Chain A
């Protein structure tokens, strides 16, 4: 048997073991306290810490150096996405029997925050995969899951979530893309807009109107489909030039007499609205995590700068105006993190997390914008300039108040949930 010994002594590979008296009794006291606190814990498992480490290392070593040039060129960051796929950082939600890792939302959020720290454009391109897959994960039958999720685990493919239209964003019930049953197929006509990965996806989740009768309730009028991107009639438009997250591929898509086999209907005709909304409960926490990652980046860049730049004889961090700005940024980042972690944890426990998910997304989106703007402020004139990293953060942050449910829609949801609880 041939093998190698490959690790040397762990002088530096382990913590020093302290076994002195007073510390032992202190540990015993903490253990008793832990018992009384019950299950609540902010502790990550070893595996979660390791996952976070890999994502962090990848983001800081590979995404950060490349982010600026992708932002300038708008080129799709496929090499980075492929690397992330190789490392197992994408497609975490895919169930194990389809070749994925079956991770919970919490674990995915940890990874997403780290990737977003590197570049939210790259992270959004990756996150759009989760969004597109979620309807299939929650509502697909075995055959659909194996076919469409399985292929994502075998190759670094992208998918997209096609719901928004030029005339209907927040008002999902107002979408007009029409699917008409003809024999064993549905024929789809319509226009979708602002579809992330629109031009790069291998397949789409599509929401279309199947029952135009005004008397038909919203909850039964729409159907969810899986559409192969190379189906004749699917026409992605030009890549849209956006304010931020520029390397992410966003397009309009026209569906002209696209034929979808009935096997690609999720659950059944009329079940679409519920599926589309159900997916959000699982995808909003990661979006909040992404916004938190951006805010964390803003905080770190601003802090580093504040400890280097001098004015009036001191480092600017020593002036209270600046240190107070940093303090407030820190407050917001910590709270946003706790919010998304709670929302993710709730849904992983099997509970409906709409309230927490909306709070997390609304809060994180808002603070990401505030922290990015504050970071630019701390950088002063330099912050306004494209040679410094923070102006990109400000441009990238804006979309977090818009996509995946606008800040206003989130408030609608939160107030509805909150008042609903009160009325009970």
Chain B
């Protein structure tokens, strides 16, 4: 049987972290009472006009720069038409012709063969980033045959990030999305919490034989976590391979991922392709951005966005942070990944290092093996840890000073998890875990043991 090459591309919608919506002044807030955050424009009242939110543009520029994109100094807005209850105006304002950023790349790392010790770096090309409006939410109440519409989310700013089909499986896609998530959170341009709908991923999947053209692709939607993303993609790849090997064909369709069944199913309401009748948005002039070279001298800097100014103020991206951790603390690259992957873990680690004489190379083991596994076991975040960095550092100091053995240290740690407020020293004393340092005393004990053995 000829081998199959799976091809995976992603369309990611990230909600912009801003106080107000993309084109109107109403607030952005998760889980507010229905229809309490809706301005006249969001409700599409006739005669209202869009006004662009500066913060949203800045967020998109930051994200574009962080993803190595070219920022288009001139980008345009368009209307994408379709009728749906959660789209009050009957069209979405998006950037179809000329988006704000294009041609970037994202590097991410994977473990080969599930061994943490072998990491490989991959790159996925970023086709573009565009600004667009989010839609409202519609809930179908089948018992009363009605549809309930909540427009709180209508008009919230989104960045759509399009990743080229450079990935080959669920694992790669998951790693790429995870890295994107970290970048967005570091920039602050999006909080990117998938569970709150701030990061939504659609996957485009196809398979083909080497040397042949790309196969028909399907779009997989309704994926609510990174874990499910990998599952959904791998399932779909398998489904397509099986279908084709059985002589079937793949339809160019949209499928929803059913997390309970672990499979993808066709979505019902796509009859024929939609023609979105794109048209330029006449109420928004072209978006003009400047850099230090093109900025006119007498321009009020409140009125314009300077790309270079934003570039200078970008925080350290995750990849840079990891490099610095590795360099500064002489830890392994895979350690740095785990540190950044867990919210607050890197800060915890650095805090412990500051408070102890133990070498960071040794501290890291305690952090990644003991602390992290305990947190995972009990589904706690770093912030919720009953053992503070102070306590852990205290404990590690005892170990470093050879006042206890490492076995004893693990026992103390187990006691500390109970969170009863005792210090490591107190626990050591209680449980008599001190290491004996006195040579003479040790000789006496050993002699007693030997004597005891001789008597048997």
A, B in one complex: no
